[in-house]
C-alpha cells in the first residue's frame, strides 16, 4: 500500500532514547526500568488551506493605514490531526514523499468527517487573523489533502490482554507543530 507521508527523520535508536526519558519525571520513575517496545505507525493528518475574506480593523481605516481600501483575501494553512481533530498553524507546506507500507495495520486513518475537520481548522484560523488584522467576514475551503505522519509508539512493559500498558507517541518526522489558542 502506497501513502503520501512526511519523511521519517528519526531513527529507532533516537526514539528509544526519547522513550527512556519516560515523557516526564513521574513516568521516568514509574516506567523507566520496564521493557520498551517500539512500533512505527502512520497517523493521518489533513493539510487544510483556507481563504479568509476580511476587512481591516476600523482603527486602521480611520488612521489611514489601510492600503487596500476594501475587503481582501488571505490564504492560511492549517494542519488538523486525524486522531483528535485538533488544528495547528503551519507556515510552510509540508514536505512529503511516497512511502510503501507493508500492512494496513501500520496506518491509522481519521474517523472524522470532512466538515468537522474544516470546522476544526476554521475556528483557530479565524481567531488568529481576528487578533492580528481585524474583522473577518468569512472563511472558505480552498483545498484539503491527506498527509500521513510517522510516529513511533513506545509501549512500556509487557503487552498482555486485559492489562493497561502505558505508551508515548513520538513524532518521527521532526515537524514541530505549535497549537493555536
Q: Is residue 176 in some structural domain?
A: no
Sequence-ordered strand ranges (E) for 6-162 = 36-56, 72-81, 87-89, 97-100, 107-108, 134-156
Residue 8: inside a domain, yes or no? yes
CA distance 73 to 106: 40
pLDDT value, residue 45:
93
pLDDT computed for residue 28 by the predictor: 64
CB 172 within 8 A of CB 150: yes
Q: How many domains does the chain have?
A: 1
Cβ neighbours for 110, distance < 8 A, ≥ 6 positions apart: 44, 46, 82, 83, 85, 117
Domain membership of residue 112 as a residue range:
2-171
Q: Which of 53, 42, 116 is nearest to 85 (CA)?
A: 116
Looking at the domain assignment, is residue 154 inside a domain?
yes
The answer as to whether 16 is a domain residue is yes
Residue 179 maps to a domain:
no
What is the residue-level pLDDT of the chain in tens, covering all 181 positions? 899 999 999 999 988 888 887 556 766 666 556 788 899 999 999 999 999 887 766 766 667 665 655 567 888 999 999 888 999 888 888 889 999 998 888 999 999 999 999 999 999 988 887 777 666 678 899 999 999 999 999 888 887 888 888 888 888 987 665 544 3
Answer yes or no: is 95 within a domain: yes
Give the span between the Cα atoms of 58 and 171, in whole angstroms: 43
pLDDT recorded at residue 181: 39
pTM of the model: 0.76
Amino acid at each position: 500500500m502506497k501513502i503520501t507521508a512526511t519523511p521519517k527523520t528519526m531513527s529507532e535508536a533516537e526514539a528509544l532514547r526519547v522513550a527512556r526519558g519516560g515523557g516526564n519525571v513521574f513516568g521516568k520513575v514509574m516506567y523507566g526500568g520496564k521493557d520498551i517496545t517500539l512500533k512505527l505507525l502512520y497517523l493521518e493528518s489533513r493539510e487544510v488551506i483556507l481563504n479568509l475574506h476580511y476587512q481591516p480593523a476600523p482603527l486602521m481605516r480611520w488612521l489611514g493605514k489601510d492600503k487596500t481600501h476594501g475587503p481582501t483575501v488571505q490564504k492560511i494553512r492549517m494542519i488538523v490531526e486525524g486522531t483528535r481533530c485538533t488544528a495547528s498553524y503551519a507556515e510552510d507546506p509540508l514536505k512529503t514523499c511516497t512511502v510503501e507500507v507493508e500492512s494496513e495495520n501500520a496506518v491509522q486513518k481519521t474517523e472524522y468527517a470532512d466538515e468537522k475537520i474544516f470546522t476544526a481548522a476554521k475556528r483557530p484560523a479565524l481567531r488568529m487573523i481576528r487578533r492580528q488584522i481585524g474583522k473577518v467576514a468569512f472563511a472558505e475551503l480552498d483545498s484539503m489533502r491527506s498527509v500521513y505522519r510517522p510516529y513511533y509508539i513506545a509501549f512500556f512493559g509487557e503487552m498482555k490482554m486485559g492489562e493497561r500498558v502505558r505508551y508515548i507517541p513520538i513524532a518521527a518526522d521532526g515537524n514541530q507543530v505549535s497549537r493555536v489558542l
